[in-house]
């Protein structure tokens, strides 16, 4: 635990510890996509979507597909296809209650990320979904986000983590497989032995769509 007397509770206390940001960091927030933002999204194969329900419970959901899978509809609007997954639909349920979402776009081998804050809607427009076809399969729906703010975030955290440096990756020996985690943590309709081949098939790139 920690000593509760060392908890920061005011902006003044926080700023006494951390000085104000430099001018570039204070002014970097945009309200629309520019050329740099567009190129980044077009190269990104991975985005994390944050959302919150009406009780304040947070959710983070990773989305991935071939680079450029997030469609730029215009300078203020993005569309993210929803592919088959665990069927919990946490993000989509949250959007129905509270439409505010956050996005973090990652490009492999780059330390920086692109952050977007906006308002989400769940869309089933067939013409839009047709543009998101992968391996002949259309998504059932898309999350369309109207951009409120967009900015680049510096790469220090990814640089520190050495995320793109395989020689510095941690040893994963001894980490449970996904099937083992599900077997220990849930009430499942299959045994670990039955689940392992299915999850391995996902990792091999099968049954993803």
Domain boundaries, the chain: 13-161, 170-203
Following DSSP, what letter does each residue of the chain receive, concatenated?
---GGG---SHHHHHHHSPPPPHHHHS--BSS--HHHHHHHHH-SEEEEEEE-TT--EEEEEEE-STT-SEEEETTEEEEEE-S--S--HHHHHHHH--EEEEEEE-TT-S-EEEEEEEEEEE--HHHHHTT-BTTB--SEEEEEEEEEEEEE-SHHHHHHTTT-GGGPPP-TTPPPHHHHHHHHS--SS-HHHHHHHHHHHHTT-S--
The pLDDT of residue 146 is 98
**According to the model, what pLDDT value does residue 204 have?**
79
pLDDT at 207: 75
Residue 13 pLDDT: 93
The whole-number mean pLDDT for each consecutive block of 10 residues of the chain, a chain of 209 residues, reads 93 93 92 98 98 96 97 98 92 98 98 98 98 94 98 96 97 93 88 86 78
Q: Which CATH architecture has domain 13-161?
A: Roll (2.30)
Question: Are the beta carbons of 104 and 60 closer than 8 angstroms?
Answer: no
């Amino acid at each position: 635990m920690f000593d509760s007397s060392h908890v920061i509770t005011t902006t003044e206390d926080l700023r006494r510890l951390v000085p104000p940001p430099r001018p570039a960091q204070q002014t970097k927030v945009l309200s629309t996509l520019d050329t740099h933002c567009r190129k980044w999204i077009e190269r990104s194969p991975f985005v994390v979507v944050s959302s919150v329900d009406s009780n304040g419970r947070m959710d983070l959901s990773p989305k991935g597909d071939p680079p450029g899978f997030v469609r730029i509809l215009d300078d203020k609007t993005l569309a993210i296809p929803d592919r088959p997954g665990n069927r919990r639909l946490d993000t989509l349920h949250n959007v129905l209650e509270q439409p505010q979402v956050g996005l973090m776009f990652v490009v492999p081998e780059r330390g920086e990320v692109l952050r977007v804050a906006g308002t989400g809607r769940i869309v089933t427009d067939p013409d839009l979904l047709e543009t998101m076809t992968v391996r002949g399969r259309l998504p059932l729906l898309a999350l369309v986000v109207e951009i409120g703010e967009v900015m680049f975030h510096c790469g220090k955290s990814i640089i520190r983590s050495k995320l793109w440096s395989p020689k510095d990756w941690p040893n994963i020996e001894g980490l449970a497989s996904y099937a083992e985690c599900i077997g220990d943590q849930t009430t499942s309709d299959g045994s670990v032995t039955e689940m392992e081949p299915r999850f391995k098939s996902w990792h091999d790139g099968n049954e993803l769509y």
